[in-house]
Chains A and B, each alone.
Chain A
């Protein structure tokens, strides 16, 4: 009874039920359907994937053989799929509950019934992509997910920028799907089977060119979904255009589909023999991270900024993947496994905190109705819980301990530093550059979130709409709390997460890395005997075995052992950090409290130089705060001046100095404009064929027939 397949089919049934109920029930009940049915569906899929994640039981459902020659359509969930499905469920559960409070704002303006239907279909399609066992069902589910994604993005179809964003997303998504499909079909051609697990046999005989083609097509094809540079133009436009809860789903779940595709093809199916593809992945990842965070810094629309951060975070995941691929190719399987663990850990973390941030932003959007940071301010007084959870999400994203972002980004850094073990200097240089890029990204991310949090929530309100802000209802705050708690949990207990992730990644590389990452210091751990006693003794003195009698698992310290001369390569424990933080902060608070109990606390307004009233226009704006970044990285932004006029009245009375600037995204500038120009000129070239003369067209048909006959003769 408690088999994963049962819960899986329950999930599918609940999605179906959700579609029916959404369409049948009156509109005002729709949010409740979402909250109720979708969340139940999420629970069941969590159970299904959770079981497989922890116990690895077989999950294989044969569906249907559409044509005798084609093979069976199969659903199979191995641990990799299970992880992605689990993350999907983790995100969709709170987001669905959040929708109950969020969707009513669209009542009357847009059709909530179709929204509910699309939502459930998207949920099902996403999971089906992840559990597809063969190419056909994979592509089918993938297309389905893309289309319903588009439909949900286009929900506010009255707005022009929404429709344009949706259209761009659809166009690029189709192009990506096409590329990925060609790549997959090349693999099919090499192996002759349709089932994914059977494709592993193929690549052994593939030539270098074919391998590279498959790699490039699948990487950039799936990269569209994942939002990697240079194919990410749709992401910063589409994610903010969607309603708040859909943005959370897009950034938390749909981008993972891209990563899943990349991992499935390049890590699982296609063995790496050279470091080349890995380096490409690494460089693309670093570029995405840097460009994403730079544009996030100068963006002052809250949701667009978060979308740019999605690009950045996916870049970091890709850096992990790239490093792993290089290590696989150069024969360091343990480090490769560590790299992949870092990558999927970061993917998980990102889904959680990005969903949290988007959900908080949506909460702000609901009451204030303004997304421009330059017009927000002072919201912490009116929406303290939203502010608090936004802060937690922000701290997680900028990788500050003891939250989850820190663990995965730190692991990614450490993996990059392991390039010391590589032999090729060129590769090492690339690793060093990417490491430096990642460091710069991390710093810029902090800048960006200081700006975002401070300008939105602290200080004084900058527009009249801020006065309308109210704290969100409990149905909207509770999901934020859950996500925030998960962020903390995954940050404080990495030593329990890593063994699970290790089980996910081991089948892909063939080596276990958990011992290399989480030494079993706890004597109660069954692997404890594998630890050399001297080593264990040294670390007992440092407290690595604290809690061994009480806590399960291997230990609380992440530690990578090296050689004799260098016994510890890196070590970290967020669990201990949390304890120390609590002790220190709590202790300081208690000390101060005790010392100042006798003193009076007087609250006075901020010292403003004695002006009559400090006006909101006398406070820093987000644009002002981020201007130094814009100036330093001017070469990337290349703003063009739209307006630079000085208006005077009667020669000396300056009445206005108008400055305006326009910036085009670097990817649009350097990739799309040339591509579009090429396509247009090619089209113009072909357009010359359309002379309008019937005789010419007749001649074309004749020539075509002759060519076909010739080809038939030759073959």
Chain B
């Protein structure tokens, strides 16, 4: 019995310093394409490479719809002038159609949040990244976030996967079983736009068709830090990123 305790003590603390500090380690995030203006190359060629329609352009200015980006890297590799790539992981954004700050859970939950994960047909990569948030490197317990196996005690529902046909009812039932106030975080490109599976006879175009979504965490899969960012955003401890088109003109203003 003691050998396990000693082993644990010997291993030391591995947990990331985020959100207090930036996480410097390599490999914590795959990064994502950055909206940009292309110089010396064809914007149309870059946009055509994207298989899910996440890229669009006006002239030489390329905009990115992060809800559709599945990290295939085709806008980065094999091109003479590839798209810019931004590292980082704070990707979560508030997506609710109601534009008030009321959609964020109040202060009472900011250090005491219960999370229920519902699998809406996810492939396994999103699930694996979500599992990491409870493991030593990310450890959301220190932030006051806990995972609960029942929606009755949950404040936040994390959903991944394009809701498949058979899972529409269970996801809906899980949502309705949660007491108020409740917020939904859609994790991954599939949950936001249907991903590569898209709308079809067997799956939907994102969970927003079935339950109201408050926060989206894009990525395929979003790294654990992005998911943590999403949770912190839900309790107003971190600001939102933007999911939608980022026109270069809009960026110039700020």
Contacts and interface: CB of A to CB of B under 8 A. Distances in A.
Interface of A: 602, 604, 607-612
B169 A607 contact: no
Contacts of A602: 179-180
What are the nearest 10 A-B pairs in CB distance?
A610-B170, A607-B177, A610-B173, A607-B152, A610-B174, A604-B177, A612-B169, A607-B150, A607-B151, A604-B176
Given A602-B180, A608-B173, 6 more contacts: A604-B176, A604-B177, A607-B151, A607-B177, A609-B170, A611-B170
A611 B170 CA distance: 7
Nearest to B169: A612
A393 B238 CA distance: 59
Interface in B149-193: 150-152, 169-171, 173-174, 176-177, 179-180
B171 to A, nearest CB: 8
Given A604-B176, A604-B177, A610 B152 contact: no
8 contacts: A602-B179, A602-B180, A607-B150, A607-B151, A607-B152, A610-B169, A610-B171, A612-B169
B13 to A, nearest CB: 37
Of listed A604, A610, A611, residue having the most chain B CB within 10 A: A610
Contacts of A610: 169-171, 173-174
A602 B179 CA distance: 9
Which secondary structure dominates where chain A touches chain B? loop
A609 B179 CA distance: 16
Contacts of B170: 609-611
Most buried by A among B151, B173, B179: B173
B108 to A, nearest CB: 15
A607 B176 CA distance: 9
Interface string B109-152: 00000000000000000000000000000000000000000111
A609 B177 CA distance: 10
Nearest to A610: B170
What is the interface of chain B mostly: helix, strand, loop, or mixed? helix
Nearest to B152: A607
Contacts of A611: 170
A607 B178 CA distance: 9
A609 B174 CA distance: 8
Residue among A608, A609, A611 with the most chain B CB within 10 A?
A: A609
Nearest to A613: B169
Nearest to B179: A602
Contacts of A612: 169
A602 B182 CA distance: 14
Contacts of B151: 607
Nearest to B171: A610
B151 to A, nearest CB: 6
A615 to B, nearest CB: 15
A611 B179 CA distance: 19
Nearest to A608: B173
User: Which of B171, B174, B177: most chain A Cβ within 10 A?
Assistant: B177
A373 to B, nearest CB: 28
Contacts of B169: 610, 612
A604 B180 CA distance: 12
A642 to B, nearest CB: 40
A611 B173 CA distance: 9
Nearest to B174: A610
Contacts of B179: 602
Contacts of A608: 173
A612 B166 CA distance: 10
A486 to B, nearest CB: 41
B121 to A, nearest CB: 13
Contacts of B176: 604
Contacts of B174: 610
Nearest to A609: B170
Nearest to A600: B180
Contacts of B173: 607-608, 610
A680 B169 CA distance: 67
Contacts of A609: 170
B86 to A, nearest CB: 38
A608 B174 CA distance: 9
Nearest to B176: A604
A180 B198 CA distance: 87
A601 to B, nearest CB: 11
B67 to A, nearest CB: 26
A602 B178 CA distance: 11
A50 B173 CA distance: 62
Nearest to A606: B177
Nearest to B180: A602
B154 to A, nearest CB: 11
Interface string B194-221: 0000000000000000000000000000
B169 to A, nearest CB: 6
A571 B152 CA distance: 44
Contacts of A604: 176-177
A608 B176 CA distance: 12
Nearest to B172: A610
A312 B103 CA distance: 61
Nearest to A611: B170
A610 to B, nearest CB: 3
A612 B171 CA distance: 11
B127 to A, nearest CB: 17
Nearest to A607: B177
A572 to B, nearest CB: 40
A354 to B, nearest CB: 40
A608 B169 CA distance: 12
Contacts of B150: 607
A250 B170 CA distance: 52
B160 to A, nearest CB: 15
A609 B152 CA distance: 11
Contacts of B177: 604, 607
A690 to B, nearest CB: 76
A618 to B, nearest CB: 15
A604 B152 CA distance: 10
B193 to A, nearest CB: 24
A396 B58 CA distance: 82
Nearest to B118: A610
A35 B176 CA distance: 52
A292 B173 CA distance: 45
A686 B228 CA distance: 91
Contacts of B180: 602
A611 B169 CA distance: 8
A611 B174 CA distance: 10
Contacts of B152: 607
A545 B151 CA distance: 52
Contacts of A607: 150-152, 173, 177
A610 B150 CA distance: 11
A608 B173 CA distance: 9
B246 to A, nearest CB: 37
A612 B168 CA distance: 10
A76 B60 CA distance: 117
A311 to B, nearest CB: 42
A298 B102 CA distance: 56
A602 B152 CA distance: 12
A612 B165 CA distance: 13
Nearest to B166: A612
